[in-house]
Structure 1
Amino acid sequence: MDAETLYQTRNAAYLGRVKRQFNRALTLSLSWIAMLLAVFLMQDRLFDTRALAIEPQKTEGLIGILSAPMLHGSFEHLASNAFAILILGTLAGSLFPRASRAALPVVWIVSGIGTWFISLGGHHIGASGVTVGLMFFLIAQGLRRRDRMSLAGLMLALFFFGGMVLSVLPQEAGVSWEYHLSGALVGFVCGLLFAGWDEQAPERLYSWDLEPEAGDADAELQLPKAQEVPVLWQRPEPRGGDKVLPFRRPDS
């Protein structure tokens, strides 16, 4: 099998797996969005939203570490996070299914813990800490792996949500930059730590990639020893009448 045929075979198999992973990731992302919508419709009707928010440095606010990403302050707040989940969640689940499954619960919990520690007050709710974490997870995967699919995921994430990079800084009242910062840090670390968990896109092969190992090639090109080289010419022995003419020095 020549190099191009081998590459096309491997690439087709890889793209087939990515397509299946995309369908699964899209379904899970849509299910997550549907669950967020259902919770939003029940907020303040069946339960108190503030009681389930992250309230920094208060014991009763610890429950929000688990529940806060499911709650939203307005439909616009929910819609913006739902769009981010649809794009970023599908990207992460398609390209890095194993790594994203491990990273998502870590981002969910640790971003909430970080917010509980570093924030100075307020009630923090929303899935933006998790979505920012997914964004930085994709950035770290692309920077660490540097294959064509991970770099494509990085570029798509930046194209749609490049503004999230600045959301980790205090900008607007009522927006939890602490949640964004915590999610960004843990998402980036998870992206670096889990970078080798998933299959990389195959690289194009060339003819020299299919040649024998370097050791065999070196053995073929190794020069023979001196005693193994056949003698093609021998210097004749000096004859009795041969003389060496002396050279006169120029100053003599």
Structure 2
Amino acid sequence: MTDQPDGAPPPQGNDVDNTARVSEPAFNLPAGLVGILAFLVVIHAARTYLLPLTLDEELIFNFAFLPARYDHSLIDQSLAWLWSPITYSFLHGSWEHLIFNGFWMVAFGAPVIRRIGISRLAVFWCLSAIAAVALHTAFHWGEMVVVVGASGVVAGLMGAAARFVFSPSGRISRQFAHLNRRLTIGEALSNRSVVVFAGIWFLTNFLIGLGVFAFGGAGGIAWEAHIGGFLFGFLLFGLFDTRN
């Protein structure tokens, strides 16, 4: 690896590709992201192996997101409507669910957290989680449907990353992608790589909604929340990004 300090721009010219291929370690995650992943694993492990079923069901009822909370005629009210639009994102339905979200969080969360830092990421996490279930609720108002998982936040990270990892003047390298110039919304929508990436992503989610892809049952996937999170990250990432 070169002797460049952390945060230094990548080398220019033909050396960039060689540096990105040769010197990048296979696993080089920001400490903040490692901490988030560990936190999610600890929560799910405690629920799976330590909590009795009755207590876990109570935890889910109080901390998962339910659209019915916002129709006062359908459910006994508690203050859970205040925190559940965020706390649901720390709960997962299975190890497979957690691993799947963790995989994509590593891929897209790493460059975002390197770019905006852990403090702004914490705010981004909360607001993208809220945006995700807000759109979900618009489609499922009053329904007693339990929503858990960080998928909406992961979608937000994907939308945010799309604003800079595909910058034509930068690199997609894991190590240096966070140093790219952030594209304006107009530039991003004119960028072929962004359009292809977003198009495939939206198509996949629409097909899930139509039941074409039934990963464990399409009804168990809050695909509307994915879209809400992605739109939040893509459209509003500039509010969190001070680099440009």
Q: Same fold (TM over 0.5)?
A: yes
The residue type paired with residue 165 of structure 1 is F
Q: TM-score, normalised by structure 2?
A: 0.60
Deviation at 1:43, TM superposition (A): 2.3
Match of 2:114 among 94, 100, 110: 94
Alpha-carbon contact 1:53-1:67 (below 8 Å) kept:
yes
Shift of 1:184: 1.2
Q: Is it true that 1:103 corresponds to 2:98 in the alignment?
A: no
Offset at residue 150 of structure 1 (A): 7.0
Q: Deviations over 1:35-73 (max 9, x none)?
A: 111111222715422332111142456232021001111
Deviation at 1:114, TM superposition (A): 3.1
Match of 1:50 among 61, 71, 83: 61
Tell me: CA distance 1:178–1:158, structure 2 relative to 1, closer, same or farther (3 Å). same
Q: Does 1:14 align with 2:9?
A: yes
- 2:215 alignment partner in structure 1: none
2:37 aligns with 33
Contact 2:91–2:150 at 8 Å: present in 1 too?
yes
CA distance in 2, matches of 1:107, 1:92: 13
Q: Tell me, yes or no, if structure 1 residue 190 matches structure 2 residue 194.
A: no
Is 1:118 paired with 2:139? yes
In structure 1, the residue matched to 2:170 is 148
Which of 196, 220, 232 is residue 174 of structure 1 equivalent to?
Answer: 220
Asked if 2 retains the 8 angstrom alpha-carbon contact of 1:137 and 1:187, the reply is yes
Aligned-pair identity in percent equals 22
Farther-moved stretch of structure 1 (168-177 vs 39-48): 39-48
Question: Secondary structure of 1:111's partner?
Answer: helix
Structure 2: unaligned runs, 5 residues or longer = 12-26, 71-76, 181-191, 212-217
Q: What CA distance in whole angstroms lies between the structure 2 residues aligned with 1:93 and 1:156?
A: 22
Q: Return 5+ residue gaps in structure 1 as ranges.
A: 1-8, 17-22, 200-252
Q: What value does the CA root-mean-square deviation take over the aligned residues?
A: 4.1
- 1:84 and 2:104 are equivalent in the alignment: yes
Amino acid at match of 1:175: I
Asked if structure 2 preserves the Cα contact closer than 8 Å seen for 1:66 and 1:112, the reply is no
